[in-house]
Structure 1
Amino acid sequence: MSSGVPYNDLVELTSAPAFDFGEKVRANRIIRNDGTYAGREIGDILAKKGEVGYVVSIGTFLQKFYIYGVEFIESGNRVGMKREELDRVVRGGRRPAVAQELSTTIEAEPQAAASALRRSSI
């Protein structure tokens, strides 16, 4: 954001999320495990810079930030990402069939939602 306010001082929750369910995004930096990703060592790479994925969930953190659950295609990892760590691949680049399937399964069956992303062509 170009408001001159440091990102960590912003309260994103006063506006709509920057990304929607099913939207195609790209990691704009290397994302490493900070110790919160189960089954992986601290420091392991979870997403490479430039890796493409789809938003499969939207949550909040510290009552300030949106956290986007992104299912990365190449690595298969689902990683919680801040807006500043992501770039939109194509404006409005949602995949309608996948987005519709995700909306019906994301809460009830998170594994089915991840499978829907893997089944779809890239």
Structure 2
Amino acid sequence: MADIAREDDTVELAHPPRFAMGERVASRSVIRNDGTYRGYDIGAVLVHKGDVGYVRSIGTFLQQFYIYAVEFTDSGHQVGMRAKELCTLDHLPDDVLAQLGERAALLSSLR
């Protein structure tokens, strides 16, 4: 365990979780199997950028980070992800919705 590199000094646990249980989120990056997902080779793609899922549970890692268990309904995968790897689809700020204009209505069709 001594070789775990902490990429930043931020302690997310000092604040409430960024996402809530049941919240609809999208992946901001490709997620590959690091060896902890059974039945798939290491390096296999589990989640593609833009895949939509739902937060099923919230845990912690290293007493520093929140880990969100996200169920991606299209693939059936449930993957643990950090907040920086996710984007909400349910609680977008008003200025973002304004920039999306008519396309904001399309968000409700993403499941």
Measured against the shorter chain, the TM-score band is 0.7 to 0.9
Q: Within 2, Cα distance between the matches of 1:58 and 1:41?
A: 25
Q: What's the offset of the Cα at 1:90? A: 2.2
Match of residue 35 from structure 1: 35
Match of residue 17 from structure 1: 17
Match of residue 70 from structure 2: 70
Q: TM-score normalized by structure 1?
A: 0.68
Q: How does 1:1-122 map to 2 (within 5 A)?
A: 8-91=8-91, 122=111
Q: Which runs of 5+ in 1 are unaligned?
A: 1-5, 93-121
Q: Within 2, Cα distance between the matches of 1:26 and 1:54?
A: 9
Alpha-carbon displacement from aligned partner over 1:78-120 (angstroms, at most 9, x marks no partner): 000000000001208xxxxxxxxxxxxxxxxxxxxxxxxxxxx
Q: What's the offset of the Cα at 1:30? A: 0.4
Q: How many residues align?
A: 89
2:91 is paired with a residue whose SS is coil
Q: Within 1, Cα distance between the matches of 2:39 and 2:63?
A: 27
Q: TM-score normalized by structure 2?
A: 0.75
Q: What's the offset of the Cα at 1:7? A: 6.0
Q: Percentage identity across aligned positions?
A: 53
Q: Within 2, Cα distance between the matches of 1:46 and 1:86?
A: 14
Q: Which amino acid aligns with 1:66?
A: Y
Structure 1 segments, 4+ long, off by >3 Å, are none
1:20 is paired with a residue whose SS is coil
Q: Which runs of 5+ in 2 are unaligned?
A: 1-5, 93-110
Q: Within 1, Cα distance between the matches of 2:8 and 2:38?
A: 25
Q: Within 2, Cα distance between the matches of 1:58 and 1:84?
A: 14
Answer with 1 or 2: which has the greater Rg. Answer: 2
Q: What's the offset of the Cα at 1:8? A: 2.6
Q: Within 1, Cα distance between the matches of 2:79 and 2:17?
A: 17
Q: Which amino acid aligns with 1:18?
A: R
Q: What's the offset of the Cα at 1:57? A: 0.5
Match of residue 113 from structure 1: none
